[in-house]
């Protein structure tokens, strides 16, 4: 079959890499893709947000399945558009993608269906929001309702901070329409974890646990980024905890969708905070995580195309996802200055040398080809990913591969997986296999 992948980041390279191994995928295309995706598929220069252009491309290629990577085209209704024209597409409809594109929608759904999450208030009026925020002593979190390039979440230490955040979002409209409504919620403490599940409207299948590191600097310092590195599995997520996630989050999610007349087909990735009272949902994402996908695809043993088709066709119950027992670690190499301003066009050296390492895979995020070179073209440049018998071995191999690659201004965190290893040392027997 012919598959078209929408997007051009590390997540899409990992999906394309895995799909390219399927004997059932005869031809793989990507729009717009990147230099790494181009190694396993044919890339077309159509933006992931150009809906008419993507529909025309699906028609031209006669795509049997279109896999949508990023959140924006989902929220804009790409899956709906393709389906209206008779094309099969993987990803939720715009209406179901509101779990990610509207935090107010997601929080109200969780409140209605008893899914554990931080206590919150939602506001469309800045005066009301200000009044509520002044009643909170201690830290709180102010969130813009809509998609804001990952920048719409502000952790506030005092009523003064929250007053400023509310006025920036609601009065000064720094996030445009995304800030017309805001959520103000309780600050939660704990370890974060990413849970990925495929949903076909009736049932779900889980991926193993993973964990992202969102701050740019070691020991979780500096500003938030799109994600600087991931591990899977997460030793802090025991199998008992995974069961709690199923009972308290995934099953009520499906029941809630049925009660509200909503159908969710695609990948659902709840970001969790593991609090002392149990796991609570920080947010729902309506797509695969980036760079979580990089570690999950390295561990997925079964054919991804079978799973994606089962979701689209509503027969997930008959499908089994098989995973390798090995652990995986992904270390992101980013451009110097990211998540602020950074230079582009820097030649990347050592990719071939890194590729020689067994069980290591360099997923491209912001790269493009320039003559004979592959050069940097984004903030997150590469997701250097490795499998190993355990987290320690996977981590060593991933950093081994990182050491072989260089470009001007390259930055990476040196501590991906470090907290997990310390946790395992102080909790013998915690090394989970999922």
Rounded distance, CA 295 to CA 281, Å?
22
Decide: 109 and 99 in contact? Cβ < 8 Å.
yes
Which partner, ligand AMP, ligand GLY, none, binds residue 187 by CB below 5 to 8 Å per kind? Answer: ligand AMP
Q: Considering only 45-53, 88-96, 284-292, 407-415, which stretch makes contact with ligand GLY by CB under 6 A?
A: 284-292
Near ligand GLY by CB under 6 A: residue from 10, 70, 91, 289: 289
- If the CB atoms of residues 80 and 212 are measured against ligand GLY, the closer one turns out to be 212
Closest separation in Å from C-beta 101 to ligand GLY: 13
Rounded distance, CA 187 to CA 233, Å?
26
3-state secondary structure 377-413: CCCEEEEEEEEECCHHHHHHHHHHHHHCCECCCCECC
SS3 312: helix
- If the CB atoms of residues 17 and 132 are measured against ligand GLY, the closer one turns out to be 17
Residue 290 interacts with ligand GLY (CB under 6 A)? yes
What is the binding site for ligand AMP (CB under 6 A)?
118, 141, 143, 153, 155, 185-188, 192, 214, 271, 282-283
Closest separation in Å from C-beta 227 to ligand GLY: 4
32: preceding bond cis by omega (within 30 degrees): yes
**Nearest 10 degrees: CA dihedral of 335, 341, 344, 346?**
-40
Rounded distance, CA 416 to CA 14, Å?
19
Of residues 319, 293, 309, the one with CA closest to residue 66: 309
- If the CB atoms of residues 100 and 303 are measured against ligand GLY, the closer one turns out to be 100
Which partner, ligand AMP, ligand GLY, none, binds residue 289 by CB below 5 to 8 Å per kind? Answer: ligand GLY
Which partner, ligand GLY, ligand AMP, none, binds residue 282 by CB below 5 to 8 Å per kind? Answer: ligand AMP
Closest separation in Å from C-beta 200 to ligand AMP: 25
Closest separation in Å from C-beta 117 to ligand AMP: 8
The vertex-266 CA angle with 261 and 270, nearest 5°, equals 90
- If the CB atoms of residues 78 and 286 are measured against ligand GLY, the closer one turns out to be 286
DSSP-assigned letter for residue 38:
G
- If the CB atoms of residues 83 and 158 are measured against ligand AMP, the closer one turns out to be 158
Rounded distance, CA 363 to CA 330, Å?
9
Closest separation in Å from C-beta 120 to ligand AMP: 8
First to last CA, the chain: 31
Rounded distance, CA 431 to CA 434, Å?
9
Q: Dihedrals φ, ψ of 109, to 5°?
A: -60, -45
Which partner, ligand GLY, ligand AMP, none, binds residue 290 by CB below 5 to 8 Å per kind? Answer: ligand GLY
Which partner, ligand GLY, ligand AMP, none, binds residue 188 by CB below 5 to 8 Å per kind? Answer: ligand AMP
- If the CB atoms of residues 32 and 271 are measured against ligand AMP, the closer one turns out to be 271
Q: Considering only 45-53, 162-170, 286-294, 361-369, which stretch makes contact with ligand GLY by CB under 6 A?
A: 286-294
Question: How many residues make contact with ligand GLY (CB under 6 A)?
Answer: 6
- If the CB atoms of residues 226 and 235 are measured against ligand GLY, the closer one turns out to be 226
Residues 333-362 that bind ligand GLY (CB under 6 A): none
Closest separation in Å from C-beta 292 to ligand GLY: 5
Q: Dihedrals φ, ψ of 208, to 5°?
A: -65, 160
Rounded distance, CA 35 to CA 199, Å?
31
Residues 119-178 that bind ligand GLY (CB under 6 A): none
Rounded distance, CA 328 to CA 345, Å?
29
Residue 227 interacts with ligand GLY (CB under 6 A)? yes
Near ligand GLY by CB under 6 A: residue from 66, 285, 334, 367: 285
296: which 2 tokens? Answer: 């999950």
Contacts with ligand GLY by CB under 6 A lie at: 212, 227, 285, 289-290, 292
């Amino acid at each position: 079959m012919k598959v078209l992948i929408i997007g051009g980041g590390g997540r899409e390279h990992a999906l394309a890499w895995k799909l390219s191994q399927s004997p059932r995928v005869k031809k793989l295309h990507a729009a717009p893709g990147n230099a790494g995706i181009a190694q396993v598929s044919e890339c077309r220069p159509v933006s992931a947000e150009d809906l008419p252009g993507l529909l025309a491309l699906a028609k031209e290629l006669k795509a049997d399945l279109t896999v949508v990577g990023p959140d924006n085209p989902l929220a804009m209704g790409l899956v709906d558009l393709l389906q209206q024209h008779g094309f099969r597409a993987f990803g939720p409809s715009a209406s179901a993608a509101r779990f990610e594109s509207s935090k107010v929608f997601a929080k109200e759904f969780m409140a209605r269906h008893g899914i554990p999450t931080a206590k919150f208030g939602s506001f469309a009026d800045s005066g009301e929001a200000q009044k509520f925020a002044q009643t909170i002593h201690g830290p709180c979190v102010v969130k813009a309702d809509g998609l804001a390039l990952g920048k719409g979440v502000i952790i506030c230490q005092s009523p003064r901070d929250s007053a400023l955040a509310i006025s920036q979002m609601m009065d000064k409209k720094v996030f445009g329409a995304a800030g017309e409504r805001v959520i103000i919620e309780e600050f939660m403490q704990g370890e974060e974890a990413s849970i990925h599940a495929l949903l076909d409207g009736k049932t779900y299948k889980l991926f193993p646990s993973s964990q992202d590191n969102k701050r740019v600097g070691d020991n979780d310092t500096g500003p938030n980024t799109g994600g600087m590195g991931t591990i899977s599995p997460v030793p802090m997520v025991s199998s008992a905890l995974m069961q709690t996630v199923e009972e308290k989050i995934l099953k009520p999610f499906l029941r809630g969708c049925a009660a509200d007349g909503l159908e969710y087909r695609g990948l659902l990735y709840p970001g969790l905070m593991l609090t002392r009272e149990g796991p609570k949902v920080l947010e729902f994402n309506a797509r695969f995580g980036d760079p979580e996908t990089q570690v999950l695809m390295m561990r997925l043993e079964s054919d991804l195309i079978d799973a994606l088709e089962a979701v689209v066709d509503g027969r997930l119950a008959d499908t089994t996802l098989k995973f390798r027992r090995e652990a995986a670690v992904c270390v992101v190499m980013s451009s110097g200055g990211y998540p602020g301003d950074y230079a582009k066009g820097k030649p990347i050296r050592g990719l071939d040398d890194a590729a020689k390492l067994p069980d290591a895979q360099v997923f491209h995020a912001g790269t493009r080809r320039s003559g004979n070179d592959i050069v940097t073209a984004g903030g997150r440049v590469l997701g250097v990913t490795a499998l190993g018998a355990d987290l320690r071995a996977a981590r060593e191999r991933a950093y081994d591969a990182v050491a072989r690659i260089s470009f001007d201004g390259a930055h990476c965190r040196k501590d991906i997986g470090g907290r997990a290893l310390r946790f395992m040392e102080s909790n013998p027997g915690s090394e989970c296999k999922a």
